[in-house]
Chain A
Amino acid sequence: MSGLKDAGHLFRFLGLFVIAFLVFWVIRGFVVPKSFGEYGHYRGAAIAEIASHPIKFAGHQSCEQCHTDEAGTKAKGAHAHVNCEACHGAIFQLQPAAAAPPENLYQRMLAFAGLRLPADPPLVKHADDPMSVTPVKPDSAVLCARCHTASAAKPKGFPQVDPAEHSGGVPCATCHNPHSPVIGSDTTATAAAGTTAAAGGAN
């Protein structure tokens, strides 16, 4: 028994280790997010957070609910496979800064400390306020040229023109209906051009 006579300091060390471990365990319980390890070595809640980002391109299905005429024309034309927002831009738009709701206390404090976390800007939807929130009216001279300007780099079968030579500065929409651009192929035209082009499928 006398061998343990001087072992008191060892037990005190052991006690310290146990206390340190308990402190570590308690702190860990608070600091590690509940969802960490739910699916793997990461915070499972991050997935839902990323999935909750705001959507800006609503998708052509959304446009087609109201704009049935344009959708019908387009479906029969050579642009059947071009989605609405490819030309008109995203229909969810940023709310003007003045109308943005005030930031919360946490964001204000971070901003004060110079460590501002950028917040998602508020969005408004064309469908909620069709008169004031409107998609950009595209400038056909820029928009059409972006795809259809002739270049040796583009696929050979793709319709291409030299804009200056082709129209001499006249806006494309003077002659072409952008929703069904082949001249003479209006809504009554055969669906041939549209269906072959759409075979690749949008989406």
Chain B
Amino acid sequence: MNISRRHILVLLPAAAVAWKHVLAGTPEDSPNYRMSDHWWGMLIDIPKCIGCGNCVRACQTENDVPDGFFRTWVERYHVTDTHLENPEVISPDGGKEGFPIAKEDEGKYFFVPKMCNHCADSPCTQVCPVGATFVAPDGVVLIDPKYCLGCAYCVQACPYGCRYIHPTKKVADKCTLCYHRITKGLTTACCEACPTGARQLADLKNPKDPIHEFLKMHAVQVLKPQMATGAKAFYNGLDGSVR
């Protein structure tokens, strides 16, 4: 960015005004929400996903995600008997407007919704040079847009490709697990909009959360377990070909 002397002269008083707000303290706190009482994750039930793209659209509406960028997206896998290790994967515009019709064909099809895995030992937070991204005490990986330099180390470090540099804010951006919703007792926008219940917000610290029963009764997997990221996006019915 080119900053001329004129820009500096304009910015100095602007910074002074901003400083007042920084010193003023935090915006409205959520009085009844205690971070230490929660450990958030997400359950994704692949056999229930119909690839309608409702989650992608809801996420873009809720979080003002710019066109062409995705905090969540849906991939369609097509695995044939002869190419078990090399599936054909498509995600036209993140699956936002659904998928082309698949004719009866050999092999199998399934949809895989992707999003930030909110890893407990996340590679993205470890590489940040300025402490702009972090795992909050309730297990949600967040980005502080005021601290982020936009260096994109985290974008490279994320093994799941969940981060991007916001085209106008020029800072890293990704799923916040709708932090502004879950701290007020609502579910995430994608879960709210999913018509089949393929996504479910899970609070692993809440003993009454149905996630515990579900994990007990189903064969549940996380993406790239070999990377030991402590991913908390739990996939039911995950095919071995999914990367």
The residues of A with any CB-CB pair to B shorter than 8 Å are 33-36, 39-43, 45-57, 59-60, 79, 81-83, 85-87, 89-90, 104-106, 109-110, 112-115, 117-118, 120-121, 146-147, 149-155, 158, 200-203
Indicate which residue in B28, B111, B196 contacts A81 across the interface (CB closer than 8 Å): B196
Write the chain A residue with the least CB distance to B191.
A203
Contact A109 B11 (CB under 8 A): yes
One of B114-122, B130-138, B152-160, B225-233 contacting the partner: B130-138
Interface string of B28-39 (1 = CB under 8 A from A): 111001010000
Q: Cα distance A192–B136 when bound, in Å? A: 42
A59 touches B134 (CB 8 A): no
Q: Is B68 an interface residue (CB 8 A)?
A: no
Judge if B216 is at the interface, Cβ distance under 8 Å: no
Pairwise interchain contact B197-A36, C-beta atoms closer than 8 A:
no
Contact across chains for B102 and A153 when beta carbons are under 8 A apart: yes
Closest chain B residue to A145, Cβ basis = B98
Known pairs A57-B186, A147-B195; list 10 more (Cβ under 8 Å): A33-B22, A42-B132, A51-B29, A57-B61, A81-B196, A86-B58, A90-B62, A151-B102, A153-B76, A158-B196
Nearest B residue to A120 via CB reads: B64
Interface residues on B, range: 35 or more
Tell me which residues across on chain B come within 8 A of A90, comparing CB atoms.
58, 61-62, 189
Contacts of B189 in A (CB 8 A): 56-57, 90
User: Contacts of B102 on A, CB cut-off 8 Å?
Assistant: 151-153
Q: Which residue of A lies closest to B50 (CB)?
A: A154
How far is A120 from B63 in the complex, measured between Cα atoms in Å? 10
In the complex, are the beta carbons of A81 and B197 less than 8 A apart?
yes
Q: How far is the CA of A117 from the CA of B147 in the complex (A)?
A: 14
The reply to whether B61 and A89 form a contact with Cβ atoms under 8 Å apart is yes
Sample of 5 A–B contacts (CB below 8 Å): A34-B25, A41-B134, A45-B25, A83-B195, A158-B196
CA distance A177 to B144 in the complex (A): 46
List residues of chain B with CB within 8 A of the CB of A115.
Answer: 7, 11
- Please report the C-alpha to C-alpha distance between residue A106 and residue B62 in the assembled complex, in whole angstroms: 26
Cβ-based interface call for B194 (8 A): yes
Chain B residues packing against A (C-beta within 8 Å): 7, 10-11, 13-14, 17-18, 21-22, 25-30, 33, 35, 45, 47-54, 58, 61-64, 76, 78, 97-99, 101-105, 109-111, 131-137, 142, 144, 146-147, 168-169, 176, 179-181, 183-184, 186-187, 189, 191-197, 200-201, 210
Instruction: Provide the main secondary structure of the chain A interface.
Output: loop
Contact indicator A59/B14 (Cβ below 8 Å): no
* Other-chain residue from A43, A114, A117, A201 in contact with B197 (beta carbon distance below 8 A): A201
Assess the B10–A113 pair: CB atoms within 8 A: yes
CB neighbours of B142 from chain A (8 A): 46-47, 50
* Distance of A37 Cα from B13 Cα, bound (Å): 28
B30 adjacent to A51 (CB under 8 Å): yes
Please name the residue on chain B nearest to A199 by beta carbon: B197
Top 5 nearest A-B pairs (CB, nearest first) are A153-B109, A46-B144, A53-B180, A109-B14, A42-B134
How far is it, in angstroms, between the C-alpha of A151 and the C-alpha of B105 when the chains are bound? 11
Chain B residue numbers with a CB within 8 Å of A47 are 35, 136, 142, 179
Given contacts A86-B54, A153-B111, contact A42 B147 (CB under 8 A): yes
Q: In the complex, what distance in Å separates the CA atom of A57 from the CA atom of B64?
A: 12
Whether B17 contacts A48 by the Cβ 8 Å rule is no
Q: How far is the CA of A87 from the CA of B180 in the complex (A)?
A: 22
Looking at the assembled complex, report how far the CB atom of A8 sits from the nearest CB atom of chain B, in whole angstroms: 40
Known: A39-B137, A82-B195. A200 touches B48 (CB 8 A): yes
